[in-house]
Structure 1
Amino acid sequence: MAPAPSRLGASLPLPPDLAMCRRVAARAEELGYESLWVADTGAGPDAFVVAAAAGLATRRVRVGTAVVPIYTRALPVLAAGAGSCAQLMAGRSFVLGLGVSSETIVEAWGGVPYRRPLTRMRETVGAVRRMLAGERVAFEGKTVRTRGFRLVSPPPAPVPIYVGALMPPMLELAGEVADGVVLNFMPVDAVPRMLAHVRAGAERAGRDPATLEVVARFQTVVTDDVPAARDAIRQMMGPYFATSAYNRFVAWCGFADEARAVDAAWRAKDRTANVAAVTDELIDRLAIIGSAEHCRARLAECLQAAMTTLPAGPASSPVVQLLYWVYRPIPFMEDCARRFGDVFTVRFPANPPFVFFSHPDAIREIFTADPDRLRAGEANRPLLRLLGDHSLLVLDGARHLAERRLLMPPFHGERMQAYGAIMRDVADRTIDAWPLGEPFPIHPRMQALTLDVIMRTVFGVAEGSTFTRLRERLTRLLAMTGSRFAPLVLLPFLQVDLGLFSPWGWLVRIARDVDEILFAEIRRRRAEGGAGRDDVLSMLVEARYDDGTAMTDQELRDEMLTLLLAGHETTATSLAWVFHRVLERPDVLEKLRTEVRDAAGDGPLELRHVAELEYLDATIKETARLTPILPIVARRLEEPTSIGGHELPAGAVAVPCIYL
């Protein structure tokens, strides 16, 4: 990968008309383009013929294929076609770009089995490279073979071989065996993630990644009529993204819902729905459309993404890194810190790169940065399908501020006095039920205590059948979201409902039961009004935005679940750790007891006494320092940003890690 790519190439028109291709090639050279690239549609004209025509119409530009399928041409045909083009363009470079194409072109049109693409690509690159070097090649591979073939007239100079790649396995193979990589139809924020895999493959093979060239093909339309251009691209993308390789790639880039809709419509032979499933957001992420100024700016972003070098991190596959993160997160972070220092990059399937920072200066930069550039809501998007579109945790900008203004009043003044009394009373009842004279696990007791407090102060449900039903379902929901499988079900590509046989399906059904109870309770509160009630739900029902409108039922539901999931396990685990630390230090325990007696005397502890409990406050803070409940948070970069001296691309996720 060249460290500073600054060359612009052009793709010749598709479907290729030879006369038009010659005119475009000549004009592109006049305009100063460095290279021309030819794709193979599988339905002609032949890519090598188009490349030769472009070469004859120009004198300076490089010409390459991006790409020709490896299945529909035998090894000698690939070598002969590339060698002939290289001879025609002697004195300048011809690039042979190879790809695995799709089942439609290979199997349906070509009648060739589409099998073992990685092995086929590896064997093809190796054999064709030897043929182009003029060797007599005898090769018996698992997918291809040739006996004694030799080019009659080898090209006068070595022919670079590039590999077209989308997903991590092929990207890493390109880094391992090719001279360059061809990227296509990708959002700009996916480029660093893709190049990281190319780099990993090169390093694993003992190669210098800087020697590989990156050909990044961005579909660009300079126009004043953006809707018309979107519609034209939509017509192309619909069938294109129905092929298995591109469908998986679109999902990997963060568009799992669109990928499923495109595929379902194509399988149902509903071409209208297939095209309609390609959303404007998807088009705008994968294509560059607009004025000349807009297109120049977007292309500059693309160049920046290709130039950016992410900090080092584990070379293992994203799947392996995900498993470590799910099952051994703390040892995984500690190992990365030992190996790579206070900044390192972690990669998970179907996600942008996560760059961890542990140096205090870098963490300070992240938390003091413009929130419109480092967006917390964007980083929390995996929570969206569980918490909902209106959750404070997934919002940024003006919407975040509006929701926050509505949520803050219930947590101030006299209301906190009332909540404090509820917390004390629930804690008293809970402690009275603890066994005497025998050990017991503290964490489950803290979870139960915290849930009861949330039920009363947030949901305003204290007894009766609604309390029992809601508590039982919330307990099941929290058990799932607090399990070791929780990180897995938050990955978009694993959010597939296979009924009770899938974690996501089970979670969806529990959440549906919770929603049924919550929506009924919300309707009841609206009918009865919030007079005389001080729970959060009742106050939010009565609250109004700046324009005078009330929160919708869905907005209320989303914020109720947010308060539950954000406040339950964090509080319960914090309390459990405080008990753990204090019980290890009898001297600290005695000081705490003395402080509470001095503040409250023989009476009950009131909220007004809290300000006097300085040693207790210090104990809680020191426990949080030693055992932080949230070791990380995340911010998604809206634009290229420098953090801690590292230039990070747009789309990457900065992860300040207080634990390390």
Structure 2
Amino acid sequence: MNLPSGPKQPGLWQTLTLVADPITFFDRCQQQYGATFTTRVLGPNSPPVVFVGEPDLVQGIFTAPLDTFALGKVTHVFRPLTGPQSLIMLDGAEHLRQRKLLMPPLHGDRLKTYADLIISITQETLAKIPSGQPVELRPYLAEITLKIILRVVFGLALGPRYEELNQRISRLLDDITQTVYSSFFFFPPLQQDWGPWSPWGHFLRQRAAIDRLVYAEIAERRTAGPGGEDILSLLLAAQDEQGEGLTDQELRDQLMTLLLLGHETTASSLAWAIYWSYCEEERLAQLQAEVEGADPLTLANLPYLNAVCQETLRIYPIALISQPRIVKTAYSLGNYHCDPGTILIPCIYLAHRLNATYPNPLVFQPERFCDRKFTAFEYFPFGGGHRGCIGAAFSRFEMQLILGTLLQQPGFTLHPQGPIQPQRRGITFVPKGGIWLERPAEEISPKKPVLT
């Protein structure tokens, strides 16, 4: 076996270092070994794990025949959250079957039917932001993205079930995005139920309460019969070539996947996009001029707004890596040779910071996406190949509509802050200290004198 060079520290040390601070780990390795390197980051007895950031090598992985790699077996970290029937857990024919069923509601013209509701939810939430004081945006962005999932994906009507699910999901996501809490998902031996006050026991009870609500909604919608434009309604009606639809378990797991991988992640990307949009007056003026008077479907296709969103996802992508692949038979990675069992991980973070592809990669330059079209192996913020994120088109659509709607609101300015650094929050990275906006206090008209 001939693999790229990489760090030589013990596997447990590499694992803990990566879990504690992935960005520093990747930066250090890229500086020392280049954009492709071999690690041992799956514990003390880790197999070789090769992070791949060079476009030609990424292309080889993304375009390899379907039977070259096993994929679902290396996503165990998400299993307690998404369930065993989640698309990211599956391989082979079953993966292709479910992917075909899930694709139509999340792509193409179907997205247009969600635009008005996304805009409405965004406007209602932004209207809650008080004026006359700096406000940290993350809670508002998280509220917007969660409401979109509950209304657009789950199709929930406002009412007791909606409110309870909203509260329970918010609490669960607040817990699992804490660094110590999220570490339990990386180390299965820690996943012990020692009662409701133990971390894992608390998680299991939170998950059970959410499952009760989700299964109740699925059962109610099956009884009501076909109808509705939300994603759950469309999935309930979907059938494969044999006329079979998704089971309750499959529906539950796909809904939880869309929720857990599309809520906090989108809110985090929006926080970065808002920062980059408001931190320079010239850029802000250009964006505001472009979005002025634009209707929802126009917002989704504005070129400079799109470029800002693309550049945001380049610098701090929703996830740092694409889905890992386990080599099933001997595989050539360029001039390297990988034995079965080697794990290959196309690394979004590394590829997006290659100076050869992106000159001055640490500088935010949305113009680069106006001047050039990058290949799917140079720019892949949602992964790639036949394992690319199923919700990528929906996420991009949602992100552009929310950012465009905010930019249409008058008076917001960026509250002065020091240099913004990334901070891990669950599987994504948020601006440390948050992004704070403020708008002038509403002027109160003086009272007219009362004539007597």
Structure 1 residue 523 displacement after superposition: 0.8
- Name the residue aligned to 2:319: 630
2:348 partner SS: coil
Q: Is the 8 A contact 2:277 2:287 kept in 1?
A: no
Q: Is the 8 A contact 2:78 2:185 kept in 1?
A: no
1:448 partner SS: helix
Alignment of 1:169-184 (within 5 A): none
Structure 1 residue 492 displacement after superposition: 2.9
- Name the residue aligned to 1:434: 129
Paired with 2:20 and 2:140, the residues of 1 have a C-alpha distance of 24
Does the C-alpha gap of structure 1 residues 652 and 579 become closer, same or farther in structure 2, counting only changes over 3 Å?
Answer: same
Alignment of 1:281-300 (within 5 A): none
2:337 partner SS: strand
Q: Of residues 81, 95, 99 in structure 2, which corresponds to 1:386? A: 81
- Name the residue aligned to 1:499: 195
Structure 1 residue 309 displacement after superposition: 4.5
Structure 1 residue 412 displacement after superposition: 4.1
* 1:616 correspondence with 2:305: yes
Q: Is the 8 A contact 1:326 1:488 kept in 2?
A: no
| Deviation string, structure 1 residues 82-109 (Cα, Å, up to 9, x no partner) | xxxxxxxxxxxxxxxxxxxxxxxxxxxx
Does the C-alpha gap of structure 1 residues 365 and 538 become closer, same or farther in structure 2, counting only changes over 3 Å?
Answer: same
Does the C-alpha gap of structure 1 residues 577 and 329 become closer, same or farther in structure 2, counting only changes over 3 Å?
Answer: same
| Deviation string, structure 1 residues 596-640 (Cα, Å, up to 9, x no partner) | 12x62xxxx2224522x1110111111111222212122222222
Alignment of 1:27-426 (within 5 A): 308-347=1-40, 348-349=42-43, 351-412=46-107, 415-426=110-121
1:642 partner SS: strand
Q: Is the 8 A contact 1:372 1:396 kept in 2?
A: no
| Deviation string, structure 1 residues 487-535 (Cα, Å, up to 9, x no partner) | 442433333323345433322221111111111111111111132x111
| Deviation string, structure 1 residues 413-468 (Cα, Å, up to 9, x no partner) | 55422211111000001111112232222223211110010000111113111011
Does the C-alpha gap of structure 1 residues 491 and 614 become closer, same or farther in structure 2, counting only changes over 3 Å?
Answer: same
Q: Counterpart of 1:319 in structure 2: which amino acid?
A: L
Does the C-alpha gap of structure 1 residues 650 and 534 become closer, same or farther in structure 2, counting only changes over 3 Å?
Answer: same
1:372 partner SS: helix
Q: Counterpart of 1:591 in structure 2: which amino acid?
A: Q
1:356 partner SS: strand
Paired with 2:107 and 2:2, the residues of 1 have a C-alpha distance of 46
Paired with 2:161 and 2:331, the residues of 1 have a C-alpha distance of 49
Does the C-alpha gap of structure 1 residues 373 and 499 become closer, same or farther in structure 2, counting only changes over 3 Å?
Answer: farther
Structure 1 residue 317 displacement after superposition: 2.8
Q: Which moved more, 1:361-370 or 1:515-524?
A: 361-370
- Name the residue aligned to 2:245: 550
Paired with 2:215 and 2:46, the residues of 1 have a C-alpha distance of 33
* Structure with greater contact order relative to length (CA < 8 Å, sep ≥ 6): 2
Q: Counterpart of 2:343 in structure 1: which amino acid?
A: V
- Name the residue aligned to 2:330: 640
Does the C-alpha gap of structure 1 residues 434 and 508 become closer, same or farther in structure 2, counting only changes over 3 Å?
Answer: same
- Name the residue aligned to 1:571: 266
Paired with 1:375 and 1:636, the residues of 2 have a C-alpha distance of 5
- Name the residue aligned to 1:474: 169
| Deviation string, structure 1 residues 282-314 (Cα, Å, up to 9, x no partner) | xxxxxxxxxxxxxxxxxxxxxxxxxx2543333
Q: Is the 8 A contact 1:489 1:495 kept in 2?
A: yes
* 1:517 correspondence with 2:213: yes
Q: Counterpart of 2:305 in structure 1: which amino acid?
A: L
Q: Counterpart of 2:306 in structure 1: which amino acid?
A: D
Does the C-alpha gap of structure 1 residues 635 and 571 become closer, same or farther in structure 2, counting only changes over 3 Å?
Answer: same
Paired with 1:509 and 1:608, the residues of 2 have a C-alpha distance of 44
Does the C-alpha gap of structure 1 residues 376 and 462 become closer, same or farther in structure 2, counting only changes over 3 Å?
Answer: same
Does the C-alpha gap of structure 1 residues 351 and 492 become closer, same or farther in structure 2, counting only changes over 3 Å?
Answer: farther
- Name the residue aligned to 2:361: none
1:321 partner SS: helix
* 1:450 correspondence with 2:140: no
Q: Counterpart of 1:384 in structure 2: which amino acid?
A: R
Note the residue ranges of structure 2 that are not aligned, 5 or more in a row: 351-452
Note the residue ranges of structure 1 that are not aligned, 5 or more in a row: 1-307
Q: Is the 8 A contact 1:519 1:553 kept in 2?
A: yes
Does the C-alpha gap of structure 1 residues 594 and 401 become closer, same or farther in structure 2, counting only changes over 3 Å?
Answer: same
Q: Is the 8 A contact 1:489 1:504 kept in 2?
A: no
Paired with 1:625 and 1:340, the residues of 2 have a C-alpha distance of 21
Paired with 1:372 and 1:502, the residues of 2 have a C-alpha distance of 41
2:67 partner SS: coil
Structure 1 residue 320 displacement after superposition: 2.2
| Deviation string, structure 1 residues 182-218 (Cα, Å, up to 9, x no partner) | xxxxxxxxxxxxxxxxxxxxxxxxxxxxxxxxxxxxx
Paired with 1:359 and 1:413, the residues of 2 have a C-alpha distance of 30
| Deviation string, structure 1 residues 22-62 (Cα, Å, up to 9, x no partner) | xxxxxxxxxxxxxxxxxxxxxxxxxxxxxxxxxxxxxxxxx
Structure 1 residue 589 displacement after superposition: 0.9
Once superposed, what is the RMSD of the aligned Cα atoms? 2.0
Paired with 2:34 and 2:108, the residues of 1 have a C-alpha distance of 45
1:659 partner SS: helix
Paired with 2:299 and 2:29, the residues of 1 have a C-alpha distance of 44
Does the C-alpha gap of structure 1 residues 652 and 479 become closer, same or farther in structure 2, counting only changes over 3 Å?
Answer: farther
Q: Counterpart of 2:225 in structure 1: which amino acid?
A: G
Q: Counterpart of 2:243 in structure 1: which amino acid?
A: G
Paired with 2:314 and 2:147, the residues of 1 have a C-alpha distance of 27
Does the C-alpha gap of structure 1 residues 335 and 488 become closer, same or farther in structure 2, counting only changes over 3 Å?
Answer: farther
2:340 partner SS: coil
- Name the residue aligned to 1:254: none
Q: Counterpart of 2:326 in structure 1: which amino acid?
A: R
2:320 partner SS: coil
Larger radius of gyration: 1
TM-score by length of 1: 0.50
Structure 1 residue 328 displacement after superposition: 1.1
Does the C-alpha gap of structure 1 residues 590 and 608 become closer, same or farther in structure 2, counting only changes over 3 Å?
Answer: closer
Q: Is the 8 A contact 2:332 2:338 kept in 1?
A: yes
Does the C-alpha gap of structure 1 residues 645 and 413 become closer, same or farther in structure 2, counting only changes over 3 Å?
Answer: closer
Q: Is the 8 A contact 2:112 2:297 kept in 1?
A: yes
Does the C-alpha gap of structure 1 residues 452 and 329 become closer, same or farther in structure 2, counting only changes over 3 Å?
Answer: same
Does the C-alpha gap of structure 1 residues 555 and 511 become closer, same or farther in structure 2, counting only changes over 3 Å?
Answer: same
TM-score by length of 2: 0.72
Does the C-alpha gap of structure 1 residues 394 and 317 become closer, same or farther in structure 2, counting only changes over 3 Å?
Answer: same
Q: Counterpart of 2:6 in structure 1: which amino acid?
A: G
Does the C-alpha gap of structure 1 residues 659 and 420 become closer, same or farther in structure 2, counting only changes over 3 Å?
Answer: same
